[in-house]
Amino acid sequence: MIKEHRLKISEGVKKNLPRTAFKKGRKHTEEFKENLSKRMSGRIVSKETRKKIGKRNKVIMKEKWKSGNISKATRDNLFKSGDNRIGKETQFEKGHMPWIKGKTHSKETRKIMSNVLSEQYKEGTRVPPMLGKKHSEETKETIRVKKIGSKLSIKTRKKLSRSLKGSKSYLWKGGITPISTLKRHNSDWKIWRESIFKRDNFTCQNKRCVYCKNIKGVMLHPHHKIPVAKDQSLMYEVSNGITYCADYHIKFGGLHKNIK
């Protein structure tokens, strides 16, 4: 009988089955506990075994947590001992300094974390924190104020653009826009134009321009010094761009013909 029972337990451990031998409410007798402690005293558990035990315990606790099969006292105890990896809530006190602050996870760790998260989202064991909820007006205002004056880096803008481009866009109609138009509406173009305007201090570079008097605040156009028709590779080359006011660019330039 005992042998059979032991076999069952060892099989269960191997298969990582939840422990069922101990039903809730049942307790070891004092005698049994004493015996157990006698048997275990002086026994050195190898590091490997300890790791194994830890791993298994974590699995068990996670399962218990998921099924809500955990008493309030145990929950509190876990928090007290700092083991808040199992639960969803955390109990950091105000002013607690996160260990990761000022450090970064390695690339591999980040990859692992991302995989775990996306799996959890797919399985439905994790829900996006704001799903179905709305920020309060107060929070919205705080976010708005915080965002004022902050700018996205060029790298981020390119990333954002790529993530919403073409077939990923909700406006995608199967690639019907002519390439010439596309080239003037992508993030490369926008960044190219912005770089030129910035370099030229947002003023028309036509010396003593009769159209804009070289003041700020007029409609500006970026112009290719060497036309793209002549050299495709200079399309987004900042040194090949120059700022002109729209009037000079269109009226005098007659769409490029007279500008040199």
H or E element that contains 222: strand 220-224
Nearer to Zn ion, 192 or 248 (CB): 248
Binding-site size for Zn ion (CB under 5 A) equals: 7
Are 57 and 74 contacting, i.e. CB atoms less than 8 angstroms apart?
A: no
Among 78, 192, 196, 212, binds Zn ion (CB under 5 A): 212
- Closest among 214, 213, 217, 224 to 255, alpha carbons compared: 224
Q: How far is the CB of 102 from Zn ion (least distance, A)?
A: 49
3-state helix, strand, coil split of the chain in percent (to 5) is: 50, 5, 50
220 binds Zn ion (CB under 5 A): no
Nearer to Zn ion, 78 or 204 (CB): 204
196 binds Zn ion (CB under 5 A): no
Q: How far is the CB of 211 from Zn ion (least distance, A)?
A: 4
> What is the per-residue binding string for Zn ion in 224-253, x denoting contact by CB under 5 A?
---------------------x--x-----
Inter-CA distances, 35 with 5, 29, 30, 41, 68, Å: 19, 10, 9, 10, 32
Q: How far is the CB of 220 from Zn ion (least distance, A)?
A: 9
Q: Which residues are CB-contacts of 209 (< 8 A; sequence separation ≥ 6)?
A: 244, 245, 248
203 binds Zn ion (CB under 5 A): no
Query: How far is the C-alpha of 174 from the C-alpha of 5, rounded, in Å?
Result: 65
Q: How far is the CB of 205 from Zn ion (least distance, A)?
A: 8
Among 211, 228, 235, 238, binds Zn ion (CB under 5 A): 211
Binding region for Zn ion (CB under 5 A): 204, 206, 209, 211-212, 245, 248
